[in-house]
Structure 1
Amino acid sequence: MKHRYLGQAGVEVSAIGLGCMGMSEFYGASDDGDSLRTLARAVELGVSLFDTADTYGFGHNESLLGRFLADGGAARRARVRISTKFGIVREAGCYERRIDNSPGYVRAACEASLRRLGVEHIDLYFCHRRDPEVPLEDMVGAMGDLVTAGKVGQIGLSEVSAETLRRAHAVHPVAAVQSEYSLWSREPEEGVLAACAEIGASFIAYSPLGRAFLTGRLKLDELAEGDFRRLNPRFEAEAAAINRRLVDGLTEFAARYRASNAQIALAWLLAKHPHVIPIPGTRRPDRLAENMAAADLMLSSAELAELDALFHPTQVAGARYPEAGMAGIE
């Protein structure tokens, strides 16, 4: 597995990480045994960055990772970097959320995450969503205090603007921004990617496969009853039909490489910017190997331009979240 570097501290991580959210929530039923086997296989394949959050499964996802780390002992912990997040507060059974960035909550949330993960130190700690009612300096200051106390290695922000990133970085070094970025979600190209490069921050791209839509394998009529994608505007019938035509173009492109859609989508991200680290999620070991092989694909500037044009933002139908999911996104 090729490597990239996380923030100004130069922490080496795998060029492709693993998003763990789906092992606990949002994409239908999951099995902890299967998830633990997938996590173990990821380490075997060289994955070293594992992403979670306190809100995924209402703490279940962090506890699952904690069990995985404990099962592997000190040797596994030494190979793995954990990123987790605070800030989204939800009620069980509800998709709606509120945002809490208060300094007291930052400290309490960190302590709770440390307990669930079973570690003394979180490698990368993100503000999951931004609350404009809380002074940015207060929140980032509280996060910086966690670094000083040795509870957190580096800090990051999720779904923020370039302006917020620069302001936060003036208070305490920001190692990474995590936002949705893929062929069909190009908003970070409007300034945040450049701001990350400017301050030396990494960019962690979540949902790099468009919540599996870009793979071309997703069957919308087979989504489980509780699957979040049933609520997503891009997956609604009319929008999905338009977006399916874009994916058909990606499938034709991938066939020229004898590669999968997923591999091309990930290779596109890696080739676009040297500080981007995609974190595709999967619950299946066979998909893990497929995704990680994308790190060895090389796309030319002409091929990047072809994909850019195919997935021009004006060609994509539907918002990337329902209204409730846009809370805290700048």
Structure 2
Amino acid sequence: MNDYGRPGGTLTLPGGTTCSRLGIGCWPIGGPAHNLGMPMGWSTADDDRSLAGLERAFALGANLFDTADVYGHGHSEQLLGTFLRGIPRSEFAVTSKVGYFTEPDADHAMEPAHLRRRLEGTLERLGVDYLDVYSLHNSNFGPGDIHLENAVATLRSFQAEGLIRAVGMRGPHRFAPERRTTDPGRREDKHARFLRQFAVIRPDILAVRDNILTPPSATDGIREFSTAHSVTVIVNKALGQGLLTGKHTAAAPPWYGDGDHRRRKAWFTEPALAVLGPYLDEIRHRLGGGPQTLPHAALAYCLRRWPGAAVLTGFTTLAQVEQNLTCDPAHLTTDELVFLAGVGRRAQQALDNFGEVFTDEAVR
């Protein structure tokens, strides 16, 4: 474990497990995948590197691991389970999600029987007899939320059976196909939908997307809302899926293989990276030019903005694990926090000026 204990400090989940505030997001290790007619995975993953990264993360003190049944269609859960089988169950927290994968014999991903089959598969792949958190992965509960109440009742029954310790849901967001197929002018307001569904779900955990490039309107009031309702927050996308690490540049734009979700996101293209680059340089100039400057700033920004929350960081290499988990949020001053918010706001506005194609919410 590093010299300041659990990375980012600690928090206690609703089920009672104490874990590191910097947790490991296991979407990338699922590898390439397609779902709902779109690329939904990561083409840069390698199983041997993933297992080595998980081992190193745990050695550095990270003991919160977040995955989902759709990540690599179960491959992420399977790999994570291979690693976790050598660790006493009381020494880690594991979360998973359901709702983005529908089996052929189910009409909808949120049907009770389907939810039970998916949970059973998740537990088997992970090699555990309970999850610390099981979350509804999206807000699609059918027309008029027809499946919402039964889905909630089913997850609460899992909780009563001891199969899960806490129920989670996502903050305001859009179901992935909705962004591609729905006229923006006719979409239901995602904040209104969130509030309506929150009142039914009454979750123990809230997953929130946030990073330096997130528009203020996307998270306005969510911190206060979660506090008022005594809901623990898990923040994801803290590194902008790699955009905020500085590893992608317009001079050397990334290339992603088949099944990689970044192939459909304009912010990973050369024109967008050319816009983003100068803003990242501003951060380097203010905070230092070392290789850890940008990822440490991005992670500390979220840890400081969300006190008492967990912040997830993904990886595909051992070096990324070591880089990310040595972040100390105490090193970021209040002035630097305000500076990062200002730079990020200007960067996001500059990217949005390129048009609707540059506002993919999944990147944020």
Query: Which residue identity is paired with 2:70?
Result: T
Tell me, in whole angstroms, the C-alpha distance in 2 between the residues paired with 1:205 and 1:236. 25
Identity %, equivalent residues: 25
Output the amino acid matched with 1:218. Answer: H
- Between the aligned partners of 1:244 and 1:90, the Cα distance in structure 2 is 39
Q: Please tell me whether residue 3 in structure 1 is matched to residue 9 in structure 2.
A: yes
Q: Secondary structure at the match of 1:294?
A: coil
Instruction: Determine whether 1:30 maps to 2:45.
Output: yes
Give secondary structure in 1 for the equivalent of 2:94: strand
Paired residue for 1:228?
Answer: 261
> Can you list the C-alpha shifts for 1:130-175, whole angstroms capped at 9, x where unaligned?
1142343322221111100111010101243666666556556522
Q: Distance in 2 between matches of 1:167 and 1:101?
A: 17
Aligned equivalents of 2:319, 2:290: Cα separation in 1: 19
| Residue segments in structure 1 that go unaligned for 5+ positions in a row | 92-97
2:248/2:273 contact within 8 Å kept? no
Whole-Å separation in 2 of the counterparts to 1:8 and 1:120: 18
1:85 corresponds, among 93, 97, 100, to 97
Q: In the alignment, which of 15, 21, 27 is matched to residue 15 of structure 1?
A: 21
8 Å contact 1:162–1:195 — kept in the other structure? no
Deviations 1:92-113 (A, max 9, x none): xxxxxx9722222222211111
Is 1:197 aligned to residue 227 of structure 2?
A: yes
How far apart, in 1, do the equivalents of 2:53 and 2:291 lie? 25
90 and 111 in structure 1: CA distance in 2 versus 1, 3 angstrom threshold = closer
Which of the residues 80, 89, 93 maps onto 1:65? 80
Contact 2:15 2:165 in 1 (8 A): no
Report the number of matched residues: 315
Q: Which of 123, 126, 129 is the aligned partner of 1:117?
A: 126
Partner of 1:314 in structure 2? Answer: 349
TM-score norm. by structure 2 comes to 0.78
The answer to whether the 8 A contact 2:299-2:329 is kept is no
How many angstroms apart in 1 are the aligned matches of 2:10 and 2:338? 23
Q: 2:136, 2:170 within 8 Å by CA — same for their partners in 1?
A: yes
Aligned match of 2:247: 217
| 1:1-330 alignment, distance < 5 Å | 1=6, 2-25=8-31, 26-70=41-85, 72-73=86-87, 75=88, 77-89=89-101, 100-133=109-142, 134-135=145-146, 136-160=148-172, 171=200, 173-186=202-215, 187-219=217-249, 221-226=253-258, 227-255=260-288, 259-312=292-345, 313-317=348-352, 318-321=358-361
SS of the residue corresponding to residue 359 of structure 2 reads coil
Question: Structure 2 unaligned runs (5+)?
Answer: 1-5, 32-40, 173-189, 353-357
